[in-house]
Amino acid sequence: MTATELFFIACGLSMDTFAISLCKGLRMRKAELGQGLIIALSFALFQAAMPIIGWAVGVQFSHFLCSMANWVAFLILAAVGAKMLWDALHEEEGCPIEAFDRIHPKELIALSIATSLDALAVGFSFSIMQVNILTASAIIAVVTFTFSITAVAIGNRWGIKLQKKAGVAGGVILMLMAVRILLGGH
């Protein structure tokens, strides 16, 4: 898998953190760089760690799945992308309006885990496709951090107009990558 393909997968995985970061930025009374950095760092760390965990689990089972590697990778990426697309199209518009000065650590950890579960599944597919997991995780972390810190600033300034579009874009990107894997190998 090329660095460009990993970048597009990272973009797809980062869209849910982008949408949540928009909401967090919207709800901040005043966007502070420190709070934005904490949010972006938390999302990036979890998005980087989950593929490694998924990859480690996948390595244990890869000998069972070798003959179907492209199909398994396709199914995982397509399912994650379809779920992201479904969620984006069926969720209610907007974010809770309650403003805050500092994000609560428990809430941030819960959001970080929830938004990185798709990265766990993608990490599993990376093990089947024999992707260099450290490179993939690093790319995912950098893209997630960049998207999240940017989204906090955008959300604080312009609101949530991009939230739904981010979810749709993430789902479509992952489904397109799944089709590419199925048609062209990995």
Q: For residue 85, is pLDDT > 80? A: no
Q: For residue 7, is pLDDT > 90? A: yes
The phi and psi torsions of 160 (rounded to 5 degrees) equal: -110, 25
Q: pLDDT tier at 152 (50, 70, 90 boundaries)?
A: confident
Render pLDDT for 37-73 as a digit per residue (tens, 0 to 9). 999 999 999 999 999 999 999 888 766 665 666 676 6
The mean pLDDT of 91-106, rounded to a whole number, is 63
Highest mean pLDDT pick, 26-30, 75-79, 127-131? 127-131
Q: For residue 172, is pLDDT > 80? A: no
Distance, in Å, from the CA atom of 55 to the CA atom of 172, rounded to the nearest integer, reads 23
Whole-structure pTM value: 0.74
Q: How many CB atoms lie within 10 A of CB 17?
A: 31
Cα 42 to the center of its chain, rounded Å: 12
Inter-residue contact 178 to 77 (CB < 8 Å): yes
Instruction: Write down the pLDDT at residue 147.
Output: 95
Instruction: Let me know the angle formed at the C-alpha of 54 by 52 and 59, rounded to the nearest 5 degrees.
Output: 90
